[in-house]
Structures are given as structure tokens and as C-alpha cells.
């Protein structure tokens, strides 16, 4: 059973009393539980100081604005989020599920959106993600992804002074390497294996989003960072929404500097090593 206080909060929010709980993976600053309710229904409860109202806003917007399968939110405030439990197999998606993921993400990315950024700031994990509106992608990525994360990391001591200066040098010439997309696209923003739930040959759910309007290439880059998707995904995606063939040569690694900086701040400064390797390739 959850603590009496949490059980009371859940019952007050949805009118049903928890009868059992099971810890789930995925919580870092919040507690994540699979909660059994009277009658057999299962839900997920997140509890703690973890920007949970923002997560509710992001899940609601993905459900409203896309066909991505996401868990329905039952209740959400700053410290408690309740949503449907998504049955899934666990582990990385196989070839057929990767093809399904490609269909879903290509459909999401091909819908033009108004400008870059978003209607409000979002989060990636527990870290703030600023989304001021803009009409050009490259300056948005430079200022509000690359430099923002580097500066915040430097201020807290996870990004060293030398790395910060090298990233600032990259920012000064970023338009040599990155291009403007045909249009802004809505992005899930945090597509890695732990956030992609598979059931058989299908994607059952995308969870823990970090949404904003951006270039689909940053989403595709992130999907390669921890081996989430491979050749079956990219072959199918290219059939639905062709991307520039030189993406894998350099731009993937440039875009992955952002999620790597997130991991430097979130988990371990060792994640700076692939960032430094990319910068060294550019003579920075």
C-alpha cells in the first residue's frame, strides 16, 4: 500500500481507493508507482517535486495535437500525476515495432507547426527547457538548447570552463553545420528506449515527453544516442519523410550534444566525453 497520505490524495483526486502498489523504474526526483485500484484497474502515480504539472500539460498536448499513443492523464498538479498504466513488454523495440514507431514519428513531424519554441516552457527530465517563440531554427537551437544547457551546467559546476568555452566557439559557427527545416515540427523531445513502450510488434506508448516545436533531425539524432532505434526505423522513416542523407555524417552528433549535456547535468560528467570528441572533429 502507498502511504496513507498518498492513498488519500489519490482517492481525493479520482474517487477510487488504492489497494496495492508496485515501484516502477523511471523516477529520479519523483516516486513512480503502479497502483492497483479496487476493481482491478491499474494506473501510474508519480509523486514528488518534479514539474509534474508541466508533464501533465505536455502529455495532454501530445494527445490533443498528435496521433502518438500516450497515457491518458487522470489528474495532475505540481506534486501528483495520475495516468493510465500502459501494458508493455519491456526492453528495446524489435524491427516491426521500430517500423511502427517510424510511421508514428514521421506522421508527427510532417505536420507544419507555427514557429519554433512553444506556447510555454517545458522540461526535459527535471531540467527546465525554455521555449521562447522564434521564426528560425538554428538560432533557437544555439541559444535555447546548446548555450542554455551549457551555461546552466557551468553555473552548477557540472560543465567545466574549458568545455563551456569550446561550446561557445561551436555556437559562434553553428550555422556552418545546421540547416533550417522546411517547417517547424512538434517533437516528443525525449525519444529513448525507456520512454518508448512496446507491446508485440507495435508501439504501445510514448511517455515522459519534453515537447516543443523544432527540427525533426534533433529527434532522430536522440533516437540513435542509446540505441533506441536502428536501421529498421530509419529505413521506414525515410519512406514516409525523407531526410537529408548526410544527417548521419555530422549533424546527428551535433544535435546529440544537447541530450548529452542533459545527462552531464542529470547523471554523470562522463557524458561529456562524446561531446568533446565531436568538438575535436571540428577543430574546437
CA distance 30 to 76: 14
Cα angle value 59/62/68 (rounded, 5°): 110
CA distance 162 to 151: 12
C-alpha cell at 125: 527530465
The active-site residue, picked from 8, 114, 143, 190, is: 190
Burial class (CB in 10 A: 0-12, 13-18, 19+), 152: middle
Residue 233 near residue 99, CB atoms below 8 Å: yes
Kindly tell me the number of DSSP H helices and DSSP E strands found in the chain. 11, 11
C-alpha cell at 230: 536502428
Annotated active-site residue 190? The verdict is yes
C-alpha cell at 55: 508533464
Catalytic residue ranges: 190
Amino acid at each position: 500500500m502507498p502511504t496513507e497520505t498518498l492513498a488519500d490524495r489519490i482517492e481525493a483526486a479520482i474517487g477510487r481507493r488504492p489497494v496495492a502498489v508496485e515501484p516502477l523504474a523511471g523516477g529520479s526526483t519523483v516516486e513512480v508507482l503502479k497502483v492497483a485500484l479496487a476493481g482491478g484497474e491499474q494506473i501510474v502515480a508519480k509523486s514528488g517535486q518534479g514539474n509534474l504539472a508541466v508533464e501533465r500539460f505536455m502529455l495532454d498536448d501530445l494527445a490533443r495535437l498528435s496521433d502518438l499513443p500516450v497515457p491518458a492523464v487522470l489528474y495532475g498538479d505540481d506534486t501528483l500525476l495520475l495516468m493510465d498504466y500502459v501494458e508493455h513488454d519491456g526492453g528495446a523495440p524489435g524491427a516491426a515495432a521500430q517500423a511502427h514507431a517510424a510511421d508514428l514519428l514521421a506522421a508527427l513531424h510532417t505536420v507544419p507547426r507555427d514557429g519554433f519554441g512553444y506556447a510555454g516552457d517545458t522540461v526535459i527530465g527535471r531540467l527546465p527547457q525554455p521555449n521562447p517563440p522564434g521564426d528560425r531554427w538554428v538560432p533557437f537551437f544555439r541559444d535555447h538548447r546548446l548555450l542554455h544547457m551549457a551555461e546552466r551546467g557551468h553555473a552548477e559546476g557540472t560543465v567545466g570552463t574549458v568545455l563551456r568555452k569550446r561550446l561557445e566557439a561551436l555556437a559562434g559557427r553553428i550555422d556552418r553545420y545546421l540547416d533550417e527545416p522546411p517547417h517547424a515540427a512538434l517533437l516528443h523531445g525525449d525519444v529513448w528506449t525507456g520512454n518508448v513502450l512496446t507491446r508485440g510488434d507495435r508501439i504501445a506508448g510514448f511517455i515522459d515527453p519534453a515537447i516543443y516545436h523544432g527540427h525533426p533531425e534533433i529527434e532522430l539524432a536522440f533516437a540513435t544516442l542509446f540505441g533506441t532505434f536502428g536501421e529498421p526505423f530509419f529505413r521506414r522513416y525515410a519512406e514516409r519523410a525523407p531526410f537529408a542523407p548526410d544527417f548521419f555524417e555530422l549533424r546527428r552528433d551535433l544535435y546529440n550534444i544537447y541530450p548529452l549535456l542533459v545527462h552531464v547535468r542529470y547523471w554523470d560528467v562522463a557524458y561529456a566525453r562524446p561531446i568533446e570528441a565531436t568538438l575535436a572533429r571540428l577543430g574546437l
